[in-house]
Amino acid sequence: EAQVTQNPRYLITVTGKKLTVTCSQNMNHEYMSWYRQDPGLGLRQIYYSMNVEVTDKGDVPEGYKVSRKEKRNFPLILESPSPNQTSLYFCASLKADTQYFGPGTRLTVL
Amino acid sequence: DQQVKQNSPSLSVQEGRISILNCDYTNSMFDYFLWYKKYPAEGPTFLISISSIKDKNEDGRFTVFLNKSAKHLSLHIVPSQPGDSAVYFCAARDRGGTSYGKLTFGQGTILTVHP
């Protein structure tokens, strides 16, 4: 089954404790991206990757890092999480003109 | 600056009636538009799209209309069903932008279809 998976689905952490949210897709898509969803703001792009070892900033990249060492995986890294990064995060991969989203990771930073 | 706006946070409709969800945009470089549906605890799923060279696209009960001069698009669901109850996001893509593939989303509209 073609899909985008994310782990963990839920995470509660404390300020400053480094964390990684994993994302994997099995569709051999070159383009992948990360979004965050906040009330009243819709989804906003954090980072994207057009292919292996090619990444770039989206609209809200501050406080995040990504890497793309292989085509299927695109982890999101928060080196020093802060409470304003409490949000719902979605990974997506692109086929033709349509992005396909993972199930989401709800992150709470205390 | 919100380039894609969904000004109605919520919409309530009776089963069998038409649901109309609206979306406005400001960036004239947008030339591809999509609607996504999102259920709780799931990721957004693609529903229907329209290119700027068209003014209408249909897929079963779902029709998207695009009015380029007004920078407005709408999603019509006819007839509405209780299973359509979800959050609907409008999204747009700028093919000429430097961020290939990036979608700009509206805030979302919560649709509730009552039996």
CA A65 and chain centroid, separation: 10
Query: Mean pLDDT in chain A?
Result: 94
Give pLDDT, residue B51.
93
A102: left (phi over 0), alpha (psi -120 to 50) or beta: beta
- The span from the CA of B104 to the CA of A77, in Å, is 22
Sort out which chain A residues have CB atoms less than 8 A from B89's CB and list them: 42-43
Question: What single letter denotes the amino acid at residue A31?
Answer: Y
**pLDDT over threshold 90, residue B101:** no
Distant-in-sequence, close-in-space partners of B103: CB < 8 Å, separation ≥ 6:
A43, A45, A99, B34, B91, B92, B93
Across residues B84-110, what is the average pLDDT?
87
CB-CB under 8 Å, B107 with A42: yes
Across residues A86-99, what is the average pLDDT?
91
Sign, Cα dihedral of A30, A76, B31, B98: negative
Q: Which of B25, B50, B94, B102 to mutate to test the interface with A (most CBs of A within 10 A)?
A: B102
Across residues A55-64, what is the average pLDDT?
94
Q: What are phi and psi of B82, to 5 degrees?
A: -55, -35
CB-CB under 8 Å, B42 with A42: no
**pLDDT 10s digits, A65-85:** 999 999 999 999 999 999 999
Which DSSP symbol is given to B42? S
**pLDDT 10s digits, B16-56:** 999 999 999 999 989 899 999 999 989 999 999 999 999 99
**pLDDT 10s digits, B58-72:** 999 999 999 999 999
Sort out which chain B residues have CB atoms less than 8 A from A99's CB and list them: 46, 101, 103
Residue in the block written with tokens 């993972």: A102
How far off is chain B from A18, nearest CA to CA, in Å? 24
What number of C-beta contacts closer than 8 Å exist between A and B? 58
Comparing A2 with A79, which gets the higher pLDDT?
A79
